[in-house]
């Protein structure tokens, strides 16, 4: 009787709490609605989409070459891996074979980005749980990697370094020296982090037995990457479907046993050591050779080959040969300065006073009626006609070929073969998949991304329910999400 009375008086209700979107521990703008009973989580509902920029849709309106910088902005913590994922997918679509050296360089930078991602993950995860020192130490090493990125491509975060068909530019010698020094020192730095937290009793209490998920369940939730490997599933795309130079290096895939937050932490720590190992092997094996695939259809033509026309001292003039001109009007429509005039089916004419010497008309002409006259700028019409009468010098004709390729590549974009494909790569967060549907034009008909962060954010309710409120922070940290990738 008394007990019933007491229950009536001290009646408890579930409390509905909003966590985020502006919460420092949600690693971005993730909003979680928590139903809590006292301190215990009853239900978690994640709301995503605050950082949605429509990258998939934007990809449909950009050519395969242009869409590359979009992938930087997905997982901005490991932009290099995203770039590589995109390039590998597009290369498979086009059937381009990448040179050996480019493959090794990509593997090096990919693993560097894995280390820098895991360092940032460890830093923020530890900070969320309460270990401040690890945060500062991790950033010290991360800075080194970002400086190395700056050395090779001029940017620290949004790198846009790999290109479809290779990489943007070759690596300098200082880069290799500095990176080797980094790999020499880095294992001792990992030991430092482990001294700070690995056996720390607070760390153990906050991570052991928190967010446990079994191997079967983790697979059926669609987890990938270290989040899955913590549960003991040795699934790694680098091992099972090797891309780049991963089939030429030795490495192990570390796995956990219990599938809790601590095991996932151990997995990532071991993975950093493996990455370090891979980089060392790749530096040792780095072969000399080209860094871009020689594929006229897909890669930009070399700039020095066009110098005969484009060099500022070669003051060229463009002239339409009256005999060859069919009067189709392509040049007239293409000319940005509106310097070309003429009636249909009659020879067109360039007004030299308006001409910018930009070569757009030359690239547009299908009937080869255009002539390039080096040193012809400022000459009179009669003189130009006289000079244009003979065939173009051979070196000018060769340079013009490359110039036309440059214009066509940029204006229209390389044409992809028809079909669809899905290509997955192992980014630090998990499996990043690109799915392209191509209708044979220069732009993808549909570009779909399988972002690991999105799928892992969906697992949050499974990991949190039954634990305390403070453990939600640990759960968000352990699945390693970046909302830029999650919302796309």
Partner 1 sequence: MTVREIVKRFTFIEIFQGMSLTLRRLFSHAVTIQYPKERRHIAPGFRGQHALAKNQAGQAKCVGCGLCATICPSQCIHISRAKGQVDKYEIDILRCIYCGFCVEACPYGAIVLTENYEYSDYKKENIYMKKDRLLSNWDKYMPGKKGEEYFKKFWRPMSDDFGTPTGQAVWRGKKQ
- The torsion angle over the Cα atoms of residues 299, 83, 52 and 116, rounded to 10 degrees, is -160
Binders in 249-308 for partner 1, by CB under 8 A = 283-284, 286-292, 294, 299-306
Binders in 196-255 for partner 1, by CB under 8 A = 196-201
The CB-of-479 to partner 1 minimum distance in angstroms stands at: 26
Residue 456 belongs to what H/E stretch?
helix 452-464
Residue 391 is a binding residue for partner 1 (CB under 8 A): no
Among the residue ranges 47-55, 172-180, 230-238, 456-464, the one whose residues contact partner 1 (CB under 8 A): 172-180
Residue 178 is a binding residue for partner 1 (CB under 8 A): no
Residue 439 is a binding residue for partner 1 (CB under 8 A): no
Round to whole Å and give the CA distance between 160 and 154.
10
Residue 364 is a binding residue for partner 1 (CB under 8 A): no
Residue 451 is a binding residue for partner 1 (CB under 8 A): no
**Interface mask (CB under 8 A) for partner 1, residues 17-46, using x and -?**
------------------------------
| Residue 410 near residue 442, CB atoms below 8 Å | no
Nearer to partner 1, 240 or 311 (CB): 311
Residue 357 is a binding residue for partner 1 (CB under 8 A): yes
Residue 153 is a binding residue for partner 1 (CB under 8 A): yes
Write out the DSSP string of 189-219: HHHHHHHHHTT-HHHHHHHTTSS---HHHHH
**Interface mask (CB under 8 A) for partner 1, residues 61-100, using x and -?**
-x--xxxxxx-xx---------------------------
Residue 146 is a binding residue for partner 1 (CB under 8 A): no
Which of 354, 418, 421, 422 binds partner 1 (CB under 8 A)? It is: 354
Residue 353 belongs to what H/E stretch?
none
* Pairing of the two strands 162-163 and 40-47: unpaired
Residue 158 is a binding residue for partner 1 (CB under 8 A): yes
Nearer to partner 1, 181 or 344 (CB): 181
Nearer to partner 1, 30 or 384 (CB): 384
Residue 450 belongs to what H/E stretch?
strand 446-450
Size of interface with partner 1, in residues (CB under 8 A) = 76
Among the residue ranges 169-177, 208-216, 416-424, 440-448, the one whose residues contact partner 1 (CB under 8 A): 169-177
| Residue 211 near residue 475, CB atoms below 8 Å | yes
Binders in 106-135 for partner 1, by CB under 8 A = 133
The CB-of-30 to partner 1 minimum distance in angstroms stands at: 24
Q: Read off φ and ψ for residue 223, nearest 5 degrees.
A: -70, 150
The stretches of 95-210 forming alpha helices (DSSP H) are 100-129, 132-153, 173-197, 201-207
Round to whole Å and give the CA distance between 102 and 96.
13
Residue 355 is a binding residue for partner 1 (CB under 8 A): yes
The CB-of-257 to partner 1 minimum distance in angstroms stands at: 19
Residue 360 is a binding residue for partner 1 (CB under 8 A): yes
| Residue 437 near residue 444, CB atoms below 8 Å | yes
Q: What angle do CA 182, 184, 187 make, to 5 degrees?
A: 95
Among the residue ranges 149-157, 268-276, 458-466, 475-483, the one whose residues contact partner 1 (CB under 8 A): 149-157
Here the tokens at position 336 are 């940005």
Here the tokens at position 25 are 């521990």
156-177 residues labelled b (16+ CB within 10 A) or e (exposed): eebbbbbbbbbbbebbeeebee
């Amino acid at each position: 009787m008394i007990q019933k009375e007491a229950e009536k008086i001290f009646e408890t209700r579930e409390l509905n709490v909003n966590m985020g979107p502006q919460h420092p521990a949600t690693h971005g703008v993730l909003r979680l609605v928590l139903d809590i009973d006292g301190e215990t989580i009853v239900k978690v509902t994640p709301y995503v989409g605050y950082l949605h920029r429509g990258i998939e849709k934007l990809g449909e309106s950009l050519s395969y070459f242009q869409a590359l910088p979009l992938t930087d902005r997905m997982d901005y913590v490991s932009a290099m891996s995203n770039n590589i994922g995109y390039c590998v997918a597009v290369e498979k679509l086009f059937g381009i074979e990448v040179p050996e050296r480019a493959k090794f360089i990509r593997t090096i930078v990919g693993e560097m980005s894995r280390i820098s991602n895991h360092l940032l993950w460890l830093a923020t995860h530890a900070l969320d749980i309460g270990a401040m020192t690890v945060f500062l130490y991790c950033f010290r090493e991360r800075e080194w990697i970002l400086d190395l990125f700056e050395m090779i491509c001029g940017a620290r975060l949004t790198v846009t370094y790999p290109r479809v068909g290779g990489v943007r530019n070759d690596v300098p010698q200082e880069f290799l020296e500095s990176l080797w020094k980094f790999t020499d020192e880095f294992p001792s730095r990992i030991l430092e982090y482990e001294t700070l937290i690995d056996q720390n009793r607070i760390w153990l209490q906050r991570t052991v037995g928190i967010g446990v998920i079994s191997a079967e369940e983790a697979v059926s939730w669609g987890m990938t990457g270290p989040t899955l490997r913590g549960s003991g599933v040795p699934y790694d795309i680098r091992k099972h479907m090797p891309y780049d130079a991963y089939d030429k290096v030795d490495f192990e895939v570390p796995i956990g046993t219990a599938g809790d937050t601590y095991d996932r932490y151990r997995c990532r720590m071991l993975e950093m050591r493996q990455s370090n190992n891979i980089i060392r092997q790749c530096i040792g094996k780095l072969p000399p050779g080209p860094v871009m695939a020689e594929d006229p259809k897909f890669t930009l033509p070399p700039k020095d080959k066009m110098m005969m026309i484009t060099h500022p001292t070669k003051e060229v003039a463009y002239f339409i040969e009256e005999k060859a001109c069919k009067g189709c009007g392509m040049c007239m429509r293409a000319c940005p300065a509106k310097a070309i005039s003429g009636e249909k089916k009659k020879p067109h004419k360039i007004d030299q006073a308006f001409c910018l010497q930009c070569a757009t008309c030359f690239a547009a002409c299908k009937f080869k009626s255009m002539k390039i006259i080096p040193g012809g700028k400022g000459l009179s019409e009669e003189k130009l006609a006289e000079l244009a009468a003979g065939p173009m010098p051979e070196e000018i004709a060769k340079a013009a070929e490359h110039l036309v390729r440059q214009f066509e590549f940029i204006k229209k974009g390389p044409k992809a073969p028809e079909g669809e494909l899905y290509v997955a790569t192992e980014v630090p967060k998990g499996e990043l998949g690109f799915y392209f549907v191509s209708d044979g034009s220069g732009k993808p008909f549909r570009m779909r991304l399988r972002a690991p962060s999105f799928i892992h954010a969906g697992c949050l309710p499974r990991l949190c329910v039954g634990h305390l409120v403070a453990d939600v922070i640990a759960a968000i940290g352990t699945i390693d999400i970046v909302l830029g990738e999650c919302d796309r």
